Amino acid sequence: MIAPAQSLPTGRRHLIGIAGLSPQDITELLDLAEAEVAVSRQVEKKKSVLKGRTQINLFFEASTRTQASFELAGKRLGADVMNMSVASSSVKKGETLIDTAMTLNAMRPDLLVVRHHSAGAVALLAQKVACSVVNAGDGAHEHPTQALLDALTIRRHKGRIARLVVAICGDVLHSRVARSNILLLNALGAEVRVVAPSTLLPSGIDQMGVRVFRRMDEGLKGADVVMMLRLQRERMEGAFVPSVREYFRYFGLDAAKLAHAKPDALVMHPGPMNRGVEIASEIADGPASVIEEQVEMGVAVRMAVIEHLIGLSAEGNT
Amino acid sequence: MSERPLVVETIRIVDPARKLDAVGTIVVENGVITAAGPDALNQGRPEGAMLIDGSGLTALPGLVDARVFIGEPGGEHRETIASASRAAAAGGVTSILTMPDTDPVIDDVAIAEFVMRTARDTALVNVFPAAALTKGLKGREMTEIGLLADAGVKAFTEGRKTLADPALMRRIMTYARDFGAVVMHETTDAALAGSGVINEGLYASWLGLPGIPGEAEIIPLERDLRLAALTGCRYHAAKISLGESAAVVANAKRRGLAVTAGVSINHLSLNENDVGQYRTYFHLSPPLRREEDRLAMVEALADGTVDVIVSSHDPQDADDKRRPFAEAEAGAIGLETLLPAALRLHHSGAVPLMRVVEAMTSAPAALLGLDQGTLKPGAPADLVLVDLDRPFVFTEDLIRSRSKNSAFENARFAGQVLRTIVAGRTVFEAAR
Kindly determine whether residue B325 and residue A119, on different chains, have CB atoms separated by under 8 Å.
yes
pLDDT score for B1:
47
Residues of chain B with pLDDT under 70: 1-2, 432
- Residue A272 assigned as binding residue: yes
Chain B 199-258, CB below 8 Å of chain A: which residues?
A: 200-211, 213
What average pLDDT does the segment A193-208 reach? 97
Q: Are B338 and B65 in contact (CB under 8 A)?
A: yes
Closest CB to A208 among B205, B210, B319? B205
Rounded to the nearest 5 percent, the helix, strand and coil shares of chain B are 35, 25, 40
Per-residue model confidence as pLDDT tens digits over B159-176: 999 999 999 999 999 999
Give domain status of residue B189, yes or no. Answer: yes
Helix A144-158 vs helix A23-41: angle between axes, to the nearest 10 degrees? 80
Kindly determine whether residue B201 and residue A6, on different chains, have CB atoms separated by under 8 Å.
no
Kindly determine whether residue A141 and residue B211, on different chains, have CB atoms separated by under 8 Å.
no
pLDDT score for A122:
96
Neighbouring residues of B59: CB distance < 8 A, sequence distance ≥ 6: B8, B11, B12, B13, B14, B26, B36, B375, B383, B384, B385, B386
Give domain status of residue B256, yes or no. Answer: yes
Neighbouring residues of A6: CB distance < 8 A, sequence distance ≥ 6: B276, B277
CATH of the domain at B284: 3.20.20.140
Give domain status of residue B384, yes or no. Answer: no
Kindly determine whether residue A119 and residue B211, on different chains, have CB atoms separated by under 8 Å.
no
A315 band by pLDDT with thresholds 50, 70 and 90: very low
A183 Cα to chain B: minimum distance (Å): 10
Indicate the burial class of B150 (C-beta count within 10 angstroms; 0-12, 13-18, 19 or more).
Answer: exposed
B44: which strand partners?
Answer: none
CB atoms under 10 Å from CB of A5, counted, come to: 8
Give domain status of residue B85, yes or no. Answer: yes
Q: CA–CA distance from B265 to each of A252, B225, B280 (Å)? A: 48, 23, 17
- Cα distance from N-terminal residue to C-terminal residue, chain B: 28
What average pLDDT does the segment A45-69 reach? 92
The yes-or-no verdict on residue A38 having pLDDT over 60 is yes
pLDDT score for B91:
98
Kindly determine whether residue A4 and residue B319, on different chains, have CB atoms separated by under 8 Å.
no
Instruction: Give B327's contacts in chain A (Cβ within 8 Å).
Output: 118
Give residue B31's identity as a one-letter amino acid code: G
CB-defined contacts A:B, below 8 A: 76
- Residue A146 assigned as binding residue: yes
B119: which strand partners?
Answer: none
Kindly determine whether residue A139 and residue B206, on different chains, have CB atoms separated by under 8 Å.
no
A317 band by pLDDT with thresholds 50, 70 and 90: very low
Q: Are A111 and A56 in contact (CB under 8 A)?
A: yes
Give domain status of residue B50, yes or no. Answer: no
Q: Are B364 and B65 in contact (CB under 8 A)?
A: yes
* B319 Cα distance to chain centroid: 25
The yes-or-no verdict on residue A86 having pLDDT over 60 is yes
Would you call A206 helix, strand, or coil by DSSP? Answer: helix
Chain B 174-203, CB below 8 Å of chain A: which residues?
A: 200-203
Touching check for B324 and chain A: CB below 8 Å? yes
| Share of residues in chain A with pLDDT > 90 (%) | 80
Q: Are A161 and A189 in contact (CB under 8 A)?
A: yes
Give which of A171, A175, A168, A172 is closest to A139, Cα–Cα: A175
Instruction: Give A202's contacts in chain B (Cβ within 8 Å).
Output: 204-205
Closest residue in A to B327 (Cα) is: A118
One-character DSSP codes across B144-156 = -HHHHHHHT--EE
- Residue A235 assigned as binding residue: no
**In which order are the strands placed within the sheet that holds B155-157?**
B63-68, B93-98, B126-131, B155-157, B182-185, B234-237, B259-264, B308-310
pTM listed for this prediction: 0.92
pLDDT score for B360:
98
Q: Based on the structure, what is the number of domains in chain B?
A: 1
pLDDT score for B124:
98
Q: Which domain holds residue B98?
A: 61-368
Per-residue model confidence as pLDDT tens digits over B205-234: 999 999 999 999 999 999 999 999 999 999
Kindly determine whether residue A6 and residue B326, on different chains, have CB atoms separated by under 8 Å.
no
Give domain status of residue B421, yes or no. Answer: no
* Cα A317 to Cα B107: distance, rounded to the nearest angstrom: 60
Average pLDDT of chain A, as a whole number: 91
- Cα distance from N-terminal residue to C-terminal residue, chain A: 31
Residue B99 zone, left/alpha/beta (φ > 0; ψ -120 to 50; rest): beta
* Cα A278 to Cα A25: distance, rounded to the nearest angstrom: 33
Give domain status of residue B43, yes or no. Answer: no
Q: Are B366 and B373 in contact (CB under 8 A)?
A: yes
Closest residue in B to A205 (Cα) is: B202
Instruction: Give A123's contacts in chain B (Cβ within 8 Å).
Output: 277-278
Give domain status of residue B52, yes or no. Answer: no
Touching check for B319 and chain A: CB below 8 Å? yes
Burial B48-78 (b: 16+ CB within 10 A, else e): eeeebebeebbbbbbbbbbbbbbbbbebeeb
